[in-house]
């Protein structure tokens, strides 16, 4: 049986990542070069800095991924790369590198949607997982509730109307002076806090809606911080973190469970950076147990941006006979 070897490249935001996979689900290498330090002093990702760092890193990261996998350019079956959504200048670096390799080696190019990549991280983590399932994708840029019916087939049932879940974590962390990225810091701090200390609003929206909104919650937390400061009260950071996190988690859990019950789905899958959140994992695990629904999520490394998940999507597209033209463009607002 012939082995399909995928080289995958991801550069949509602040990680330059390259992975080599065998038959889509076996990761031979997954090198992630993070730029977090470069962006930390600005309190968020600076697009120009991100593009420049990707250019500086990309060739080395490709070389490292191939060496670690013990694969040469000759051994590659095809190249997969993220072409959106993301920062356009950042995307172009990975896309250009992928096109150059596909052209020079005369192998197919498979351009991949980054959001699909987050879902497919679960196929790497759980080798026997197959669609259909309900997937909650919660990252710094996206909050989507998707019914994945088959490979490449998605029914989007809900999405955020304003901030993404991870974006809310990042903005609150910045307002509290906690640093960037905010999700892991708030998650850690929340463990020592009282989640019932402050009753922040939960935006369930209209009856039956599976959409999300986090901007009202964000304003409410910012107002709380300001008014406590004005009153000269000391702010208990851990309580604010725990109460804020609980407000996000309550809404996510309620909507994903209702969605699964509506669709009669027996399987829920979590994806994206916020899927690393310990409160979300704990509460959703409990809710799924109560309803007899199976829950799966990726390991921490596969939750946040990485090229292996992109390679997995590229593989499933490749074996279905799909291929991208070399003139394909980066699309910053690409939809799933």
Q: Which residues sit at the interface with ligand KG4, rule CB under 6 A? A: 13, 139-141, 166, 169-170, 181-184, 187, 272-274, 276-277, 304-305
Q: What angle do CA 44, 85, 38 make, to 5 degrees?
A: 25
CA torsion, ordered 125, 130, 136, 138, to nearest 10 deg? 40
Owner of token pair 């191939």: 66
Q: Are 277 and 303 in contact (CB under 8 A)?
A: no
Cβ of residue 250: shortest distance to ligand KG4, in angstroms? 14
How is the chain split among helix, strand and coil, in percent rounded to 5?
45, 20, 35
Residue 81 bridge partners (DSSP): 9, 111
Closer CB to ligand KG4, 107 or 241, in the complex = 241
Site string for Zn ion, 103-142 (x = CB under 5 A): ------------------------------------x---
Closer CB to ligand KG4, 77 or 143, in the complex = 143
- Binding residues among 16-55 for Zn ion as defined by CB under 5 A: none
Closer CB to Zn ion, 44 or 216, in the complex = 44
Q: Which residues contact 207 (CB under 8 A, 6 or more apart)?
A: none
**Is 29 marked within a binding site?**
no
**Is 162 marked within a binding site?**
no
Q: Are 31 and 61 in contact (CB under 8 A)?
A: yes
Cβ of residue 86: shortest distance to ligand KG4, in angstroms? 8
Residue 305 interacts with Zn ion (CB under 5 A)?
yes
Concatenate the DSSP letters of all residues of 283-297 into one string: HHHHHHHHHT-EEE-
The stretch near Zn ion (CB under 5 A) out of 87-95, 248-256, 299-307, 309-317 is 299-307
Residue 15 interacts with Zn ion (CB under 5 A)?
no
Can you read off the two tokens belonging to residue 213? 């909104």
**Is 39 marked within a binding site?**
no
Residue 167 interacts with Zn ion (CB under 5 A)?
no
Question: Which residues carry a binding-site annotation for Fe cation?
Answer: 114, 118, 305
Per CB under 5 A, residues contacting Zn ion are 139, 305
């Amino acid at each position: 049986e012939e082995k399909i070897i995928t080289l995958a490249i991801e550069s949509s935001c602040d990680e330059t990542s390259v992975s080599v996979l065998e038959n889509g689900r076996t990761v031979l290498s997954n090198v992630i070069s993070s730029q977090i330090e470069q962006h930390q002093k600005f309190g968020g990702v600076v697009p120009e800095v991100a593009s420049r760092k990707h250019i500086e890193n990309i060739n080395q990261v490709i070389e490292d991924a191939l060496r670690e996998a013990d694969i040469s350019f000759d051994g590659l079956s095809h190249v997969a790369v993220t072409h959106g959504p993301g920062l356009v200048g950042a995307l172009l670096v990975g896309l250009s590198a992928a096109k150059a390799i596909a052209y020079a080696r005369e192998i197919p190019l498979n351009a991949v949607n980054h959001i699909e990549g987050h879902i497919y991280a679960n196929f790497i983590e759980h080798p026997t997982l197959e669609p259909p399932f309900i997937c909650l994708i919660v990252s710094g840029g996206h909050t989507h509730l998707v019914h994945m019916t088959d490979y490449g087939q998605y029914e989007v049932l809900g999405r955020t109307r304003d901030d993404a879940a991870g974006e809310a974590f990042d903005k609150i962390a910045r307002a509290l002076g906690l640093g960037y990225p905010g999700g892991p810091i708030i998650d850690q701090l929340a463990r020592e806090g009282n989640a019932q200390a402050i009753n922040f609003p939960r935006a369930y929206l209209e009856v039956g809606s599976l959409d999300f909104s986090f901007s009202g919650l964000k304003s409410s937390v910012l107002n709380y911080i300001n008014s406590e400061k004005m009153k000269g009260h000391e702010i208990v950071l851990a309580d604010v973190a725990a109460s804020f996190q609980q407000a996000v988690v309550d809404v996510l859990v309620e909507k994903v469970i209702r969605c699964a019950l509506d669709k009669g789905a027996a399987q829920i899958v979590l994806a994206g950076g916020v899927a690393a959140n310990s409160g979300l994992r704990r509460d959703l695990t409990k809710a799924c147990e109560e309803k007899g629904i199976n829950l799966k999520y990726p390991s921490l490394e596969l939750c946040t941006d990485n090229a292996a998940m992109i390679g997995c999507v590229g593989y499933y597209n490749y074996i279905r006979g799909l291929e991208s033209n070399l003139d394909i463009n980066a699309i910053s607002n690409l939809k799933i």
